[in-house]
Amino acid sequence: MSERLLRVPIIRTHYGFTREERVIKEVSMSSLHVRTRLMLLAAALVPAASALAQTVSVSTQGVLVTDVAGLCTSFLGDDGNIYFPSSTGAFTAGDRFHLAGTYNLNQIGTCLDTAGFVLNVTSISNAFAGTGTLTIVNERPRLITDDGRTFLLSGATSERFAPGTRLYVQGTVSVTRVAPTINVSAMGAAFTGFGRIKQAPTGSLQFIAESGETVTLDRPGSIAGSNTNDYFYVEGVRRTARTGTTVTRVTARPAFAAVGKVVAQGTGVGFVPDSLFTFDQSYSVAALADAPIGATVYVRGRRSDDYDFGEAKPQRDIRLSRADFAFSGVGTLDIATKAVSIPATVFAPATVASIQFTGDPQLTPDGSLVYVAGPIASQSPGAVSLYHNEIRVGLDQEGYIRFGFGCTPIIVLNNGGYVFPRTIAGLPLNEHVRVRGGLNPEVPCLDGLGLADNTIEVTPCPDCE
């Protein structure tokens, strides 16, 4: 069994979205590969020696997050950094708030595979960052958000905006007897959108929105640790010039995107993702209100996080949701034709999937085995066209169902390595099987790599009598 190091671009901490590299251990298995859990190396955060012992002041909004295992809590600042704050006040995971404090460049904190700066917090404030409609009441500007909250605006030069203008506003929040007041630090014409983030050859950040518009971002937002194949939701102030559109005071978060099943939930329906490891917990998705139970759908929207002051915080609720019938499969990627050739299996006939997004070529290179999933634009025998699709490193291997080390059960692959499958379809331990799916590092294990949306079938045991 041979090993080599594969370098992959990610959205980095400290220096924002750069082509910094983290190391993925790749275990060679004849012509196929299994990549183990993505590891964010603390050493990659350490700056040049000349910067050591430097104390840095920081004042930023961000989002408090926990890892998928619920073991590590960190603060993802809008400046692109990951912080381990000395205090988070009364805020809990998913909340957006403002932190001020200092950190030493040579003091790096780690928790499992997360690394960041240890922040000595000097102040914590309520915060708002989002969009709404400007109104004037008693000659005082107010912002009415899309979910019906009302804020007074303090320090805002609202005279240049007509009532009814849709604005993006950011600032700390003070609680008054009249209404909560946003102490405005940024305000302007609103930009919002879902899409992909990439780094331009010039080094700038570019956001390719689902609408087809490409804009430049002034900063990464709260997305440190994400990779270039991820899907994001971006908000900010739109500024248009001859050279193009720039979005300033950016807030951004990884968005929700998953294939799964419509299930009964209370008096309505819910959504259980097959490509995420949520242990069959269902999500509330408004876009599925009329969807038939049992349907396979692809859901996109805002994750259940980044809740600012006064915003309702229901569990597992996908905001701004969109949904459509879905297709997924594992096959060979052809970047030139934007197609994935998926061979026939016992579960489905051979299909050529036409896709919009071919991914980052360093993660999913031309000719590689990939997992693809997305909403169906059109479909005919042997062909399907997807839009706003996702793409992952694919796996098609045989192995044994075994008791796991962290997550369990696992598939111990014949050629070495192991994965934690989304499902084993009720098969017993020690069964020899073939699994196909997409690799997903976001699993609640300390030592595992997930196999998302997998199929599994019993195959002959190669070393049994």
Same domain, residue pair 121 and 185: yes
Same domain, 150 and 187: yes
* Cα–Cα nearest to 206, from 186, 228, 224, 187: 228
Task: Tell me the per-residue pLDDT of 345-362, one tens digit each, with 9 for 90 and over.
Answer: 999 999 999 999 999 998
Interatomic CA distance for residues 240 and 245, integer angstroms = 4
C-alpha 196/C-alpha 359 separation (Å) is: 10
Residue 407's pLDDT is what? 86
pLDDT at 119 over 80: yes
In a domain, 110, yes or no: yes
Degrees (nearest 5) of the Cα angle 93, 94, 100? 80
More confident residue, 465 or 151: 151
pTM: 0.87
Based on the fold, state whether residues 109 and 152 are members of the same structural domain: yes
Question: DSSP string of 263-288?
Answer: EEETTEEEEEESSS-STT--BEEGGG
Among 129-138, 151-160, 229-238, 413-422, the least confident range: 151-160
Same domain, 56 and 100: yes
Distance separating alpha carbons of residues 279 and 422, to the nearest angstrom: 8
pLDDT for residue 47 is more than 50: no
Same domain (yes/no): 193, 229? yes
Kindly state whether residues 140 and 74 are assigned to the same domain. yes
Q: Tell me: the pLDDT tens digits for 378-387?
A: 999 999 999 9
Domain coverage including residue 29? 3-45
Please compute the mean of the pLDDT values over residues 417-442 and round it to a whole number.
95
pLDDT computed for residue 6 by the predictor: 28
Does the pLDDT value for residue 89 go beyond 60?
Answer: yes
Q: Which of 254, 286, 303 is the last residue of a domain?
A: 254
- Residue-level pLDDT at 179: 87
Query: Are 419 and 449 in contact, with CB atoms under 8 Å apart?
Result: yes
Q: What are phi and psi of 424, to 5 degrees?
A: -115, 10
Residue 317 belongs to a domain: no
Q: Are 433 and 396 in contact (CB under 8 A)?
A: no
Percent of the chain with pLDDT over 90: 71
Q: What distance in Å separates the CA atoms of residue 37 and residue 223, rounded to the nearest whole number?
A: 19
d(CA 173, CA 152): 10
Q: Is 158 helix (H, G, I), strand (E, B) or coil?
A: helix
Q: Do the domain assignments include residue 432?
A: yes
Q: Is the pLDDT of residue 13 over 50?
A: no
C-alpha dihedral, 352 to 379 to 374 to 447, nearest 10°: -50
Asked whether residue 115 is assigned to any structural domain, the reply reads yes
Structural tokens at position 390: 């996702």
* Shared domain check, 207 and 85: yes
Q: What is the pLDDT of residue 465?
A: 61
Q: What is the CATH number of the domain that holds 404?
A: 2.40.50
Average pLDDT of the chain?
A: 86
Same domain, 121 and 209: yes
Q: Of 307, 310, 258, nearest to 283 (Cα)?
A: 258
202 and 131 both lie in a single domain: yes
Looking at the fold, whether 152 and 11 belong to one and the same domain comes out as no
**Residue 53's pLDDT band (boundaries 50, 70, 90)?**
low
In a domain, 439, yes or no: yes
Question: What does the pLDDT read at residue 448?
Answer: 77
Kindly state whether residues 24 and 62 are assigned to the same domain.
no
Distance, in Å, from the CA atom of 332 to the CA atom of 366, rounded to the nearest integer, reads: 8
Q: Is residue 382 part of a domain?
A: no
More confident residue, 33 or 417: 417
Query: Which of the two residues, 240 and 50, has the higher pLDDT score?
Result: 240
Whether 417 maps to a domain, the answer reads yes
How far lies 322's CA from each of 267, 276, 299, 456, in Å? 21, 17, 6, 29
Domain final residue, candidates 219, 254, 289: 254
Q: Which of 200, 227, 254 marks a domain boundary?
A: 254
- 166-202 residue pLDDT tens: 999 999 999 977 789 999 999 999 999 999 998 877 7
* 83 and 28 within one domain: no
Identify the DSSP state of 147.
Answer: T
In a domain, 373, yes or no: no
Torsion angles phi and psi, residue 197, rounded to 5: -115, 135
The arithmetic mean of pLDDT across residues 97-118, rounded, is 92
Number of domains in the chain: 3
